[in-house]
Amino acid sequence: MEDVVNMEKSKLEEATKRITFLSRKLDDLENRSRRSNLRVVNLPEKVENPDAVAFLEKWLCETLGRSIFPTPHIIERAHRLPGRQNTNRPRVMIMKFLNFQDVVRVMRAARQKGRVMYGDQEIKFFPDLSAEVLRQRRRFDDIKQCLRSLNLRYGIVYPAKLRVTVNGQTREFEDPSDAEKFLQGIQNTVAVTQWSPTFVQDLLPAAQKTALLYHLSYLCLANFPNLERNIRSRAVETQLLFGSSDATMLKCILTSENLVQSLFPMLTKAVEKNKPILAVKFLAKAQVWIKEIITEVDRIVEKYDLHNKDVASSTSDVVKEKIETDKKITQQDHEMKQTENTLNDLKSKLQKATEELAELERKINSKNQEIQDFAQSITKTSKGLGIFAAVVPFIGLIVKSIYDAVHDPENVARMKALEAELNNLIADKTALKQKQWQLELQIIDWQMKFAKANFDRNSIPDPIYLNEVQSSLSKIQAILIQLKNFWENVGQMLKYLEQKTFVGEDLIEDLVELKDEFLESIKAAEEAWSSFGAGCKKASVIFKIQAKDAYKFLEVSPSSLSKEQWQTEWPCGETEKGIKDGKDRGSVQKEVEESEGHIFKGEEKGDGEEKWVSSRVREKVEVLCGPVFPRPLRLPMGDKREYGEGG
């Protein structure tokens, strides 16, 4: 009888294996029959009417580019999945290609493009898979969510394998439990990296460097009142934000200490004495504390994001102001050049008119002499005119007397001709005198215009230092982004700690039987929170290192500083050579260089001894030396379209 039972069991096992094999084979055949299908998700309803095939063939070429298809692509069929039409979530559309390679080309082109849009809807493409494969893939949903929160690259390999890439190494998992163990190790590594001395050390100069960059920018904005007010507002906002960050970090420390030193010990005692109701109350209180700090951290992340946008807006204002100022300077210089050219042209004309006037004066004198000589020649025959010709210069009355005394027609004609020539010269002289006077008036008018243009040009502030402001604000943006990433990491850490804290919550129902497991989970959570609190204490100095009077410079407007005071703060010497040579640099510029990681070796004296710049510099070197804000390692998030996951 026993042999019969064993034989039947053997047959059953063999039949079970056979059924499993055939089921997998059937599922594989089903997926192979679907391999030329493609699912389109989020495509609005009714846009394909009346011919879905024609619409999709045309739309794919317009959206992804005709060049992705070396030969004309053919869609055999296309239809929506059955179900009710919902305007909020369109039904999935399935299209069947004649050529499987066209499916691959569409998936690759969509992945390369990044976002495929139809109107304001983002369209996604997925391969058409069987229900069994989709069920197996959904087992990894929770793990994929954690991988996304850690910014780790992942994908699903056919039929249902999770592929994870960490630090260039790739692992594949068929069983979700194996993936969970691997994820646990990754989270512990992230926790260690988050609070490593190097990570915190990189962030140490944040508050002080930001204050120094604001100080440098503020000094550069003398004579730019609008930008000065703008930067003052941004500096105050940053100072308040760092104060809020300090308070939030302190709240993280206190919450961690309260959990480790008070709540977890009481929770442990409640569990040890088999009091599940009391344990539930303690867990509820812990949940309230943790939710509050997570909300606070999320709020800080949002503040950094908004403030970074405000600083970016201020940077744009600086760039716009520089462009407008350069444009004003160019226009004013052009106007001054035109005014100067006009003035020089008028002066040249005046000089020419003066020379012509002198020449006319010479001609008039010559003509007078000619008339006088002619009068003397004709008075030799007229005794009555001799005395007048010898004594009185020729004027109109004398000429008239000559006309009355001279009866020779030829002499009369000659005298009239000389008189006409003299009158013409006098008329030209009068016209030229008028012209000279007009030119002098115009010169005075244009000299006033040139003086006004010169005054307007000198009233335009020099934008030479606006590039420094733009550079400083860009560095401040980089610092704010780094700090935002820091707080995002803190938020991820808190969510991990929340999961760690309540991982054994369901065990309370069977507290008697699962007491040891629950106590073990509490101990693990206590260790994690203790590590988090120690890390917060290390990181708390990030926002406290700034000097007490770091923003005292905001009390004085840079426009009110004398040249000597301004040069004390900024590099002395306004020439580019002086700036490039680095001579006589002011205190703020030195501090900025120190905060950027410059190593000060001092000046060598005759006896070879080194002298530090000051005790203040020496202290800063000990804290600030080394590279500041290295680029964070942020791996791309997993893309469901890479390996294809059903919609």
Taking only the tens place, the pLDDT of each residue in 481-508 is: 888 888 888 888 888 888 778 766 666 6
Residue-range domain boundaries for the chain:
7-128, 130-191, 198-326+342-572
**Domain 7-128 matches domain 130-191 at the CATH topology level:** no
Q: Per-residue pLDDT for 53 more than 90?
A: yes
**Percent share of the chain, pLDDT over 70:** 74
Using alpha carbons, list the distances in angstroms from residue 106 to 101, 162, 442, 576, 644.
9, 23, 76, 56, 12
Confidence band for 348, pLDDT divided at 50, 70 and 90: very high
pLDDT classification of 635: cutoffs 50, 70, 90: very low
DSSP letter at 547 equals: -
Cα–Cα distance measured from residue 40 to residue 49, given in angstroms and rounded to the nearest whole number: 15
Peptide bond into 50 cis (omega under 30): yes
Q: What is the band of 269 on the pLDDT scale with cuts at 50, 70, 90?
A: confident
Tell whether the model's pLDDT for residue 584 goes beyond 70: no
Please report, rounded to a whole number, the percentage of residues in the chain having pLDDT higher than 90: 13
Comparing 231 with 206, the larger pLDDT belongs to 231
Helix, strand or coil, per DSSP, at residue 81: coil
Residue 416's pLDDT is what? Answer: 82
Residues 119-167 have pLDDT tens digits of: 888 899 999 999 888 888 888 887 887 777 666 788 888 888 888 887 7
496 close to 191: Cβ distance less than 8 angstroms: yes
Q: Return the C-alpha torsion angle 607, 608, 609, 610, nearest 10.
A: 140
Architecture of domain 7-128: 2-Layer Sandwich (3.30)
Helices 276-379 and 409-459, packing angle to 10 deg: 170
pLDDT at 508: 66
Strands 37-41 and 93-97 come out as antiparallel
* pLDDT score for 183: 76
Mean pLDDT value across residues 213-235: 83
**pLDDT higher than threshold 90 for residue 577:** no
The answer to whether residue 238 scores a pLDDT higher than 80 is yes
Does residue 462 register a pLDDT over 90?
Answer: no
Tokens 């006319």 correspond to 360
37-41 and 121-127 beta bridge pairing? antiparallel
Topology given in CATH for the domain delimited by 130-191 = Rec A Protein; domain 2 (3.30.250)
Sign of the four-CA dihedral 516, 518, 520, 526: negative
Read off the pLDDT of residues 592-621 as tens digits, 9 standing for 90 and up: 444 444 322 333 333 333 333 233 333 332
In single-letter form, the type of residue at position 403 comes to Y
Q: Which residues contact 321 (CB under 8 A, 6 or more apart)?
A: 224, 226, 227, 463, 466
Tell me the pLDDT of the chain averaged across its residues: 76
- Report the pLDDT value the prediction gives residue 39, as an integer from 0 to 100: 93
CA distance 165 to 151: 11
Inter-CA distances, 554 with 75, 218, 240, 247, 590, Å: 68, 8, 14, 23, 19
